[in-house]
Structures are given as structure tokens and as C-alpha cells.
């Protein structure tokens, strides 16, 4: 189960029912991995300008992106394509980290792909949650593992495979 604290900097997220989407997406990711403690995630619901600032500061990329994440602990697997070191629910591991999501980029990407906005945001929140758990897509084996998990999680939520061409 995910306990999500949302800081809304862009009020357009209010109309998008972000708390319900976040609860559904983040909890589905945790459930898929059989993580049943009350894990904590902080979510910043913002705009492209704010995400561009964060992307510049933390990744050296001066542009907006759809979602950014900052895990509270390093959990990455030592071998590409393997499951990361998942938290065990101990009290010091309940905080998974922070996610920031940009309204304009999410809207544009959903429109460009002809997808419902809610489905795209759900996908990005699943994606961000998996990053908090140590999953990544920097190499082919890791990308295949992460995309496979995303596809399974989203299918259980009734959302089409976002990677299908």
C-alpha cells in the first residue's frame, strides 16, 4: 500500500483527480512486487517550468520532462536485468522517495499518442514508483525488465501496453 503525500504547485492537477490516480498507480506497482508495507512516496504535482528547473539541477538537462524521481536509498541491482534490492518493510525503509510530474508534458504526450490523460499519468506514476524501487532503463536488460513490469501492472489496471508500437 502506498501512502502518498502530494504537494500541488500547479492547480490544473486538482481537476485531474491526481490523488486517486497516484494511489491506484503507486499501490499497483507495490502490489505487483508483493510489497505490502505502508510505503511513503512524496509527489510534486507541478508544471514544465518547475520540472525543467529540477531536471537542470539534478540531471544537467535544461528541459522539461514528464516525470522525475529521487529514491530515498540506492536499490539498483548489481547485474543488468536483475531485480533490484527491494525494501523489506523495515521502519527505516518505509520512505521510498520523491516523484515530480509535469502537467504540460503529460498533457502533450497523451494528446500526441491519442491516449486518455489519466492512463498516461497512471503509467508515468507506475514508472516513477519503479524508479524509486531501484528499477531503471539505462541499458537493454534493465529496460526490458522495467518495461515488462510496467506493462503487466498497467494491464491489471485495464490500461493498454504503452510500449506497443
Residues forming the annotated binding site? 127, 131, 137
- Bind-site residues for Zn(2+): 127, 131, 137
- Which residues of 24-126 form beta strands (DSSP E)? 39-46, 67-71, 95-102
**CB of 11 closer than 8 Å to CB of 108:** no
Q: CA 61 to CA 59: how far, in whole Å? A: 5
Output phi, psi for 58, to 5 deg.
-100, -25
Question: What number of other Cβ atoms are within 10 A of residue 85's Cβ?
Answer: 14
C-alpha cell belonging to residue 46: 507541478
Question: What number of other Cβ atoms are within 10 A of residue 132's Cβ?
Answer: 25
**What is the distance, to the nearest Å, from the Cα of residue 5 to the centroid of all Cα atoms in its chain?**
14
| Beta-sheet pairing, 67-71 with 95-102 | antiparallel
Amino acid at each position: 500500500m502506498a501512502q502518498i503525500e502530494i504537494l500541488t504547485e500547479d492547480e490544473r492537477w486538482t481537476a485531474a483527480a491526481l490523488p486517486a490516480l497516484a494511489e491506484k498507480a503507486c499501490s499497483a506497482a507495490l502490489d505487483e512486487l508483493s510489497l505490502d508495507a505502508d510505503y511513503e512516496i512524496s509527489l510534486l504535482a507541478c508544471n514544465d517550468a518547475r520540472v525543467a528547473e529540477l531536471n537542470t539541477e539534478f540531471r544537467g538537462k535544461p528541459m522539461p520532462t514528464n516525470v522525475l524521481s529521487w529514491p530515498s536509498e540506492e536499490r539498483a541491482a548489481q547485474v543488468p536485468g536483475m531485480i533490484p534490492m527491494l525494501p523489506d518493510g523495515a521502519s527505516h525503509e518505509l520512505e521510498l522517495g520523491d516523484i515530480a510530474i509535469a502537467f504540460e508534458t503529460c498533457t502533450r504526450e497523451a494528446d500526441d499518442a491519442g491516449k486518455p490523460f489519466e492512463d498516461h499519468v497512471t503509467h508515468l506514476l507506475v514508472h516513477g514508483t519503479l524508479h524509486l524501487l531501484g528499477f531503471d532503463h539505462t541499458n537493454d536488460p534493465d529496460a526490458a525488465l522495467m518495461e515488462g513490469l510496467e506493462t503487466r501492472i498497467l494491464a491489471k489496471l485495464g490500461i493498454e501496453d504503452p510500449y506497443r508500437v
